[in-house]
Structures are given as structure tokens and as C-alpha cells.
């Protein structure tokens, strides 16, 4: 991963870790080089050492998913103990193909990582659910953002402790503006490109509102892919994922189970014993169902052996799992208060959205803004882009009308009285008539207040002069009295 990819790419990661990563690379860009020898001495191992594959325990492959996730192994992932998604995919595939492996456990302790590579890894885990070997994601501290994108594709998601953190479903992106730093260093960069969006959001200039809206659209789209993937992998509706799981919150322990992100809890030893025996708890569809449901048994294996007896993953049966139905029945006042609070929060969010859309208003586009205000989904930046496009189209139509209706100006002529000033003006007019339409239009625009009053802009007037010079404008004579 290149440094600018780290700084400017979309990430599915908790915000504080993204800030830590970008600060490390920013220091590197400022010339504060990383002391590789000191890091190797501290770790007691070379930084170019590739991580090991999986560990086999009683027929169960344990695959570590640690630290920041990146598509390829790089210096940061080696220093921070991060995980290369390409190497993870290799090890995962090897475990599936290993005849000594009866089940797989993804042992996850990760804040997430780059979006690039995460979707492919999640699809690989999801595809394995159609095979005989069960796959369980087990949280060993945290499974957040991109790590949850991958872990939620497993047959089951289990936490190892009541303090484990799960969630932070969302996508983040940063624009780093180096124009100020380059200016101090005496560096001036000029982007030369073709295609309006080719350098939109360039790091060598401040971020414009149009570029912000463009990048926001990227993040929104990736967020939609993330939510849809979690919905499919967890067997939930996208609306449920959005309302209960995917607003960027971090859920701790039992909270994650109630919200539907996690199916229960277990120690790693108990989980390995259960999987080794041939039984495992499948993921449940729907929020808060895992803790209350019965364990599913593993189907008959390829060796002809029947399914092993059901082994329950410890779920603390003395703890009541609360869902919305139970909450309404046993605690109606609390349920009502939560519902009212949700309505209030939703109403506040909708009011803010409408105000943001209203702020993008522009004369002549009232009807469009009204439509966007009440469609329930358009954000302020998205409204700004639509209004700007509508204004461009409007100006194009007005220019076409000017070309069709504008009269042809009468040519200047010398005075027959022999007046020297008139002759001078006539000579100047004759010289001006020889100029290209653009230059002639600019001169008249600068000196003639009547022209500026007649045309909305210099560009409109230049277009008129070009049309006039090309003979595409005809003069309508006055009708005789």
C-alpha cells in the first residue's frame, strides 16, 4: 500500500486507529523516518518475516486476525502486528483444503482496516458456509468495522468475554491537503489531466465543496455495500442493520448479543472442544435470537460418520436475553420511553437533513429544493450537486435562446461630415471588425455598458458574437406601419 493510498483511501476502521495510522505516515512524509533497526531489535525478529499460517488444535484450525487489516502486507502492518488480507485468504483456503482440519475459528482482535480487500475476504468466508467444515468467528478483544464485515460472514460469531467490543460499522475517508506544506517548501504542483473527476479532491489543493460531495458519494456507496453485506451474512433486513447495528456505535459484551451482532459467548477452549466433537452453534437469523435458540448439529461428514451429539456453547442460561417483544411485555414503560426517544432522535436527524438541503437553495430552483427536502434521503452535499447540475442546464438553455433571438449589431461607419473624431472611430471600428469574434466581444464588453446590461455574462456575449460571425443569427425587420 502506498503512503497516499493510506492517507486518502476509504477505511472500515475505528476513528482513533485511523488517526494513529495517518499520523504515522504523515510523520514519515515530513521526513521523520522510522528506525527499522530499533524496531527489529525491540521485536527480536526481522520486519520482513511473513506471518505464520493457522494453528491446529484437536482438528480445529485457529487463524489469527490481528491488528489493522490491509490488502497486502506492508511496513505498517509488520510494525503494528496487522494482518494482510491476501495472506489471511491464503491461510483460510489452506485450512479448508487440509483434510486434518474439521472446523475453523477466526480468532479476531482487530479495529478494522482498509475497505480494499475486505469485501473479497468476507465473500470467501461466506462461501465456506456451504461446505462441511464449520467456520466460527471468535472475538478476542475487539471485532470492529472491517473486521466485523469479515467475521459476520462466519457460521457463528461469539465473544470471549463480557468486555469484548464489537461493531463500529461504517466507512471513513480523509482528504489530506498538502498545499500549505508544499508552499512553505517552495513546491508548486500543477495537475494536468483529462476528465472532470480525474483529480477531484487532489491533495495539492484545498478540498472544494464539489469535491467533498464527490468523495462523500464514494463513502456513502461503500457504506451501503457494508450494510448490505452484514444484512445478508447475518440473515437480517438492511433496515434492521441500519437501525440497530450500523450507525458506527461500538457494542460491548451482552449489548452486542442483544443488538444481533453476536450469537453468544464462549471460552476458546470450550469452543474448540465443541467443534472438535462435531457440534457447533449456528448463527441465528434476527436480532437477539442466538442466546435463546438451540444449537444446530454438524451434518454428516465425508468420512461417513454421523453427526456428533449436540454440545452447547456456554451462554449463561441464568441471564435473560431481552428482545423488543419481551421488553414491551415485561417493561412497557421502558419500551415506550425507548421508542419515543428513537422517534425524537429520528425527527431531529430529519430536521437537520432538511435544513442542510435548504442551505443549498439557489434562485430559480425552489421546486427542486422542495422535492429534495421531503424525499427523506437526500443529504446536503448531494442536494448541492443536484442544484448545481440544474443551474448548469438552465444556463445552457438560456445561452441557446440568446443565440436564437439576438439581433445582429449594425456595423460602425465613418461620418460623412468629415469629422476627424468620427473618422478615427470608424477606422478603429474597421480594425476591430477584423479581430476574431472572441477578442472583438471582449473589447466591446469592456467598453460598452449597454452590452453588459443586455447579456448576462461575457461568455454569453462571446457565444452571440460567434453565432453572428457564422451567420447563424438573422435580423427581424420592423413591420411597416
Residue numbers annotated as active site: 145, 198
Beta strand residue intervals within 289-441, DSSP E: 296-297
The enclosing H or E element of 140 equals strand 135-144
**What values do phi and psi take at 365, rounded to 5?**
-130, 30
Q: Which residues pair with 65 in a beta bridge?
A: 108
Mark out the alpha helices in 198-267 (DSSP H runs).
209-234, 238-244, 254-259
* Distance separating alpha carbons of residues 311 and 298, to the nearest angstrom: 10
C-alpha cell at position 151? 467475521
Cα–Cα–Cα angle for 38, 6, 39, nearest 5°?
A: 5
C-alpha cell at position 61? 484450525
* Distance separating alpha carbons of residues 13 and 25, to the nearest angstrom: 16
Candidates 3, 12, 230, 267; CA nearest to 122 is 230
The enclosing H or E element of 66 equals strand 60-70
The answer to whether the Cα torsion of 317, 322, 326, 330 is positive or negative is positive
Angle, in degrees to the nearest 10, between helices 420-433 and 437-447: 140
Express the helix, strand and coil content of the chain in percent, nearest 5 each.
50, 10, 40
Do the Cβ atoms of 103 and 277 come closer than 8 Å? no
How many CA within 13 A on the CB side of residue 392? 6
How many CA within 13 A on the CB side of residue 366? 2
Amino acid at each position: 500500500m502506498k503512503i497516499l493510498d493510506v492517507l486518502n483511501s476509504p477505511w472500515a476502521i475505528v476513528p482513533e486507529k485511523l488517526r494513529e495510522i495517518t499520523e504515522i505516515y504523515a510523520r514519515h512524509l515530513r521526513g521523520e523516518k522510522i528506525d527499522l533497526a530499533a524496531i527489529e531489535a525491540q521485536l527480536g525478529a526481522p520486519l520482513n518475516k511473513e506471518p505464520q499460517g493457522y494453528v491446529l488444535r484437536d482438528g480445529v484450525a485457529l487463524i489469527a486476525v490481528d491488528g489493522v487489516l490491509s490488502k497486502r502486507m506492508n511496513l505498517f502492518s509488520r510494525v503494528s502486528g496487522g494482518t494482510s488480507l491476501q495472506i489471511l485468504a491464503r491461510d483460510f483456503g489452506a485450512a479448508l483444503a487440509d483434510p486434518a482440519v474439521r472446523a475453523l475459528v477466526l480468532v479476531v482482535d482487530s479495529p478494522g482496516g482498509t475497505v480494499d480487500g475486505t469485501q473479497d475476504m468476507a465473500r470467501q468466508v461466506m462461501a465456506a458456509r456451504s461446505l462441511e467444515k464449520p467456520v466460527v468467528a471468535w472475538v478476542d478483544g475487539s471485532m470492529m468495522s472491517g473486521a466485523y464485515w469479515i467475521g459476520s460472514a462466519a457460521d457463528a460469531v461469539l465473544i470471549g468475554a463480557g468486555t469484548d467490543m464489537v461493531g463500529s460499522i461504517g466507512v471513513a475517508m480523509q482528504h489530506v491537503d498538502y498545499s500549505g506544506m508544499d508552499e512553505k517548501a517552495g513546491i508548486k504542483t500543477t495537475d494536468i489531466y483529462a476528465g472532470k473527476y480525474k483529480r477531484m479532491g487532489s491533495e495539492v489543493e484545498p478540498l472544494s465543496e464539489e469535491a467533498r460531495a464527490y468523495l462523500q458519494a464514494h463513502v456513502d456507496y461503500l457504506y451501503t455495500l457494508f450494510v448490505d453485506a452484514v444484512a445478508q451474512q447475518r440473515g437480517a433486513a438492511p433496515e434492521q442493520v441500519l437501525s440497530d447495528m450500523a450507525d458506527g456505535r461500538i457494542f460491548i459484551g451482552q449489548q452486542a448479543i442483544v443488538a444481533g451482532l453476536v450469537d453468544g459467548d464462549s471460552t476458546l477452549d470450550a469452543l474448540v472442544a465443541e467443534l472438535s466433537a462435531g457440534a457447533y452453534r449456528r448463527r441465528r437469523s434476527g436480532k437477539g435470537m442466538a442466546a435463546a435458540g438451540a444449537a444446530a448439529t454438524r451434518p454428516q461428514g465425508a468420512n461417513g460418520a454421523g453427526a456428533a451429539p449436540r454440545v452447547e456453547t456456554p451462554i449463561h442460561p441464568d441471564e435473560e436475553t431481552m428482545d423488543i417483544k419481551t421488553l414491551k411485555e415485561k417493561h412497557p414503560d421502558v419500551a415506550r420511553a425507548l421508542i419515543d426517544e428513537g422517534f425524537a432522535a429520528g425527527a431531529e436527524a430529519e430536521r437537520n437533513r432538511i435544513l442542510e438541503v435548504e442551505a443549498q437553495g439557489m434562485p430559480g430552483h425552489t421546486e427542486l429544493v422542495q422535492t429534495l427536502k421531503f424525499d427523506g434521503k437526500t443529504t446536503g452535499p448531494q442536494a448541492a450537486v443536484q442544484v448545481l447540475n440544474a443551474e448548469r442546464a438552465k444556463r445552457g438553455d438560456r445561452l441557446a435562446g440568446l443565440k436564437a433571438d439576438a439581433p445582429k449589431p449594425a456595423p460602425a461607419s465613418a461620418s460623412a461630415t468629415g469629422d476627424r473624431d468620427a473618422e478615427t472611430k470608424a477606422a478603429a471600428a474597421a480594425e476591430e471588425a477584423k479581430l476574431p469574434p472572441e477578442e472583438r466581444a471582449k473589447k466591446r464588453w469592456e467598453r460598452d455598458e449597454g452590452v453588459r446590461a443586455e447579456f448576462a455574462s461575457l461568455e454569453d456575449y462571446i457565444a452571440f458574437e460567434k453565432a453572428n460571425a457564422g451567420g447563424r443569427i438573422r435580423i427581424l425587420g420592423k413591420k411597416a406601419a
